[in-house]
Structure formats: C-alpha cells, structure tokens
C-alpha cells in the first residue's frame, strides 16, 4: 500500500530538493512524491514532502510562512548573494557597527518590502530561468517583487561588532517568495557596506517545525521496519492555515459532486474553507470569482471509501 501523508523531512546540505524527492521515491517505492518549495543545495532545514493523495495540498504548504536562521557577512558581496559565488564588491576597511545601528537596519526591512530576485535564481523572465541567463554571462531586467517580512530578530548578544568582515546571526519570519540572500544584501545596503548571506537554515515551514523532522537516513530505517506512517502528518495538517467545517446533510450531495453552491458564511471573511466528513478533509472551496454569494471547489480530496455517504 502506497504511503499517504506529509513527511516532515530535514534536508541536509549538499542536496537539491529534487534530489530528496528522487531518493524518497526509491526508498518508499512510490511515484507520488512532491516537495513544498525548493531549498538551495547548501541550505539545510525543514522541507515538507507530500506523498500520495497529499500531493494535492503541496501548493498550500508552499504558500504558508517560513522561518529561517541566517548568518549575514558584512564586508563583501558575491554574484550569487551567498557564500557560493565569486566576490563582486568588497570593502576591506575596519568597521564598527553598534547594536542600535544594526537593529535600526533590521527594523527598516520589516513589513512589506521590495526585492529584486537574484540573477542566480529560478525566477522566470521571458520564459527562461534567471540562472540560465547568469550562467551564460547575460543580464536581464528583473521584476521587482513585494514580499512580507513579519520579523527579523538579532540572535547575537553583542553590543557592537568590529573588523574588516563582520558576521551576525538573525531569525527571519517571512511570507512566500522571500529571498533571504537578497535580504542579507539589503541589510548591508542599509548599513552602507557590501554584504551576503554566509549560511542559512530553514527552521519552520508553515506548521512544520524542526522538532518534527526526520532525515533521509532515518526515513530509510523507518521504511524498512514498515512503520513509515508513524512519521507522516495527515492532509488536514497541511491545510491547517484554513478554517474547517464538518459537512451538514444539506450540503452532502453538492459537495460530493463538486457543485457551485451558496457561499458558506465563513467565506465572507476567509478566502478558503475546508469541508470535512468524519473529520477528514474532502473538499477545499473558495469564493466564486464571478458569481457573488457563491462558492466553487478549489480542490477535491475524495470521500472515505468505507461507510455510506
């Protein structure tokens, strides 16, 4: 029987997100495996993996907020905005940055901010990924994005930092599409120096945390013991950002058949609602974009096979 559920994987450095998917397909002997947003190869951290029917909720986990812990290096910048790229600008002067200066810079980058995606990224421009241009030495105009930074917390307890190269650690809570590499460069700009992100770990992805995660090696051991279900979270967990309501008899036929229906009162305030049957998600509905007061299915998960509906 193929596994169904969401696997909270701890991605280790040196692997792409696709590498993890490839390994899991072999370990779990299933093709229905999907990740919930890429992590760069050198980055470690929380990477929820959707298995079986749970692949239907991957996009909603991807859209949820993330938490990262990063090290920023002030002193030089790189072409990739992280520690992997060639140096493109440097300031070898002796620097002193006070805690107040640094906290003011972090505060200025909290809230809705604009970012230009790095050239070494998978953002598409004119049908090609930016890194494809970058690898050929080509440049292209990049779209300015607005991203949400909920908070930036300084993790070090120094009163000040001094030296040619200054390093400090921060914790970032942010929305979808944020480039922490670019944020590190922006912090440097706010302080008046070139900078880059020298290390990054993702500690939370939506409702998934580091404490829940297992490594690929641990997954392999668990799978060999036939107990993979013990580390999987249900589809409902991946939808936990949305309001839930149990199906009432009058809605049963319409929801089961994916019909356009009168909007549930919850949709006056929320964009989505999860309908459950016996506590299990069976359908995700949203406000109808064209028909006022109506709702339509966004995603159907199917009804339980046991019992009459």
C-alpha torsion sign, points 92, 87, 110, 204 = negative
If we measure between CA atoms, which residue out of 100, 93, 60, 59 comes closest to residue 76? 93
Residue in 40, 89, 141, 250 annotated catalytic: 40
Together in a domain, 70 and 147: yes
Tell me, yes or no, whether 274 lies in a domain: yes
Query: Based on the structure, what is the number of domains in the chain?
Result: 3
For 24-49, what is the mean pLDDT?
Answer: 92
Q: Residue 305: pLDDT band by 50, 70, 90 thresholds?
A: low
Together in a domain, 198 and 281: no
Tell me, yes or no, whether 307 lies in a domain: no
Residue 150 sits in which domain range?
Answer: 66-202
The CATH code of the domain that includes 171 is 3.30.2350.10
Burial class (CB in 10 A: 0-12, 13-18, 19+), 86: exposed
The model scores a pTM over 0.85? yes
Query: Residue 120 above 80 pLDDT?
Result: no
Structure-token match 């929380």, residue found: 46
pLDDT tens, residue by residue, 69-110: 999 999 999 999 999 999 999 999 999 999 999 999 999 999
Tell me, yes or no, whether 128 lies in a domain: yes
Tell me, yes or no, whether 309 lies in a domain: no
Q: DSSP label at 145?
A: E
If we measure between CA atoms, which residue out of 285, 266, 264, 265 comes closest to residue 274? 285
CB 11 within 8 A of CB 57: no
Chain centroid to Cα 93, Å, comes to: 37
Whether 40 is a known active-site residue: answer yes
Kind of pairing between the strands at 272-277 and 244-246: parallel
Together in a domain, 114 and 229: no
């Amino acid at each position: 029987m193929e596994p169904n559920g969401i696997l909270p994987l701890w991605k280790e450095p040196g692997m792409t997100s696709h590498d993890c998917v490839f390994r899991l397909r072999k370990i779990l002997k299933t093709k229905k495996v999907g990740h919930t947003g890429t992590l760069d190869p050198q980055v470690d951290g929380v990477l929820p993996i959707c298995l079986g029917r749970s692949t239907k909720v991957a996009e909603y986990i991807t859209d949820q907020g993330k938490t990262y812990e990063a090290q920023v290096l002030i002193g030089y910048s790189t072409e990739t905005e992280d520690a992997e790229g060639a140096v493109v600008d440097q300031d070898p002067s002796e620097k002193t940055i006070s805690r107040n200066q640094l906290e003011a810079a972090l505060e200025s980058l909290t809230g809705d901010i604009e970012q230009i995606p790095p050239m070494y990224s998978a953002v598409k421009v004119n049908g090609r990924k930016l890194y494809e241009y970058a690898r050929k030495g080509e440049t292209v105009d990049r779209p300015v994005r607005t991203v949400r930074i909920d908070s930036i917390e300084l993790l070090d307890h120094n009163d000040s930092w001094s030296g040619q190269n200054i390093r400090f650690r921060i914790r970032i809570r942010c929305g979808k599409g944020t480039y922490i590499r670019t944020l590190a460069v922006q912090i440097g700009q706010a302080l008046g120096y070139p900078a880059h992100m020298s290390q990054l770990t993702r500690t939370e992805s939506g409702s998934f945390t580091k404490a829940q995660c297992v490594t690929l090696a641990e997954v392999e051991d668990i799978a060999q013991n036939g107990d993979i279900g013990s580390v999987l979270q249900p589809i409902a967990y991946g939808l936990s950002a949305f309001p839930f309501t149990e199906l009432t008899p009058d809605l049963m036929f319409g929801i089961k058949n994916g019909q356009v229906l009168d909007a549930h009162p919850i949709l006056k305030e929320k964009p989505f609602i999860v309908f459950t049957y016996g506590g299990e998600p069976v359908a995700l509905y949203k406000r109808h974009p064209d028909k006022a007061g109506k709702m339509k299915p966004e995603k159907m998960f199917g009804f339980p096979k046991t019992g009459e509906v």
